[in-house]
Amino acid sequence: MKESMRLDKYLADMGVGTRSEVKGLIKKGKIQVNGTIANDYSRKIIVGTDVIMYAGEEITYLEYEYFMLNKPAGVLSATEDKHAKTVLDLLTTSKRKDLFPVGRLDKDTEGLLLITNDGALSHALLSPKKHVDKMYYAKVEGMVTEQDVEAFAEGLQMDEEWRAMPAKLKILVQDTISEITLVIQEGKFHQVKRMFEVVGKKVIFLKRLSMGPLQLDEKLMPGEYRKLTEEELQKLKESHS
């Protein structure tokens, strides 16, 4: 059985306007349903069957949207902020108005961020019980050693109450500025930076490369985004079903 919903909710969900703005458009005869002008904002629409038109365009209903963003530094992983640009400000082609970032990256951290309105998928990816791998690339001030690799693999004692889960540290460049990849399964506040502080080093650049089976598209420049492919979405859902 196909879902039905009020016309004003349908249009508001798809970003045509707020509920009150949408009602105004309907009163002015700006909305058509199945080729005739709609005049009742409370009428029921059969999603996927009825054809809704506004300004010469068909308004198709999307229950969920999924975007991969290459988050740039200097942007907040938040839905809104009065003083700073957020990741949602970068999404100019989304239909839904209830999108949110799945987890967060620090303001100065770059890389993969999934943005959606699918709460169930978000919960599955962020749940500590699911142990979802998250891979980061970092530049680190200080010589990263095999001792660090072993310490990360054992799980670092972060403070009196928190011992980090075992993490996979791989050294790419070993120098005064080292380059590494790190796979963790947690996502605590400033976690990667704090882990390196425990071993006496400082992260000076951080970028997330993957989250579960989802890998950052190398073609996306910082600040660019695209919809997830069907294959990517299927892999995400299968990995947490």
66-128+214-239 and 133-211, same CATH topology: yes
pLDDT along the chain (241 residues), means of 10: 86 90 94 95 92 93 94 95 93 90 94 96 88 96 97 96 96 98 92 97 98 97 97 90 63
In 3D space, the residue among 20, 50, 21 whose CA is nearest the CA of residue 36 turns out to be 50
State the pLDDT at residue 162: 92
State the pLDDT at residue 96: 87
Determine the Cα–Cα distance for residues 52 and 34; give it in Å rounded to an integer.
Answer: 6
84 Cβ neighbours under 8 A, 6+ residues apart:
75, 76, 107
Q: Which fold has domain 133-211?
A: Alpha-Beta Plaits (3.30.70)
Under CATH, which architecture does the 4-58 domain have?
Roll (3.10)
Alpha-carbon distances, residue 38 vs 4, 174, 234 (angstroms): 16, 67, 37
- pTM equals 0.85
Alpha-carbon distances, residue 17 vs 3, 22, 37 (angstroms): 21, 5, 18
Active site residues: 106
Domain ranges of the chain: 4-58, 66-128+214-239, 133-211
Residue 186 bridge partners (DSSP): none
Which CATH code for domain 66-128+214-239? Answer: 3.30.70.580
- Please state the three-class secondary structure of 64-118 as a single string: CCEEEEEECCCCECCCCCCCCCEHHHHCCCCCCCCCEECCCCCCCCEEEEEEECC
pLDDT in tens, 59-110: 999 889 999 999 999 999 999 888 999 999 999 988 888 899 999 999 999 9
Determine the Cα–Cα distance for residues 102 and 113; give it in Å rounded to an integer.
Answer: 7
State the pLDDT at residue 7: 95
State the pLDDT at residue 1: 56
In 3D space, the residue among 130, 104, 94 whose CA is nearest the CA of residue 213 turns out to be 130
Determine the Cα–Cα distance for residues 24 and 27; give it in Å rounded to an integer.
Answer: 5
In 3D space, the residue among 155, 151, 136 whose CA is nearest the CA of residue 193 turns out to be 136
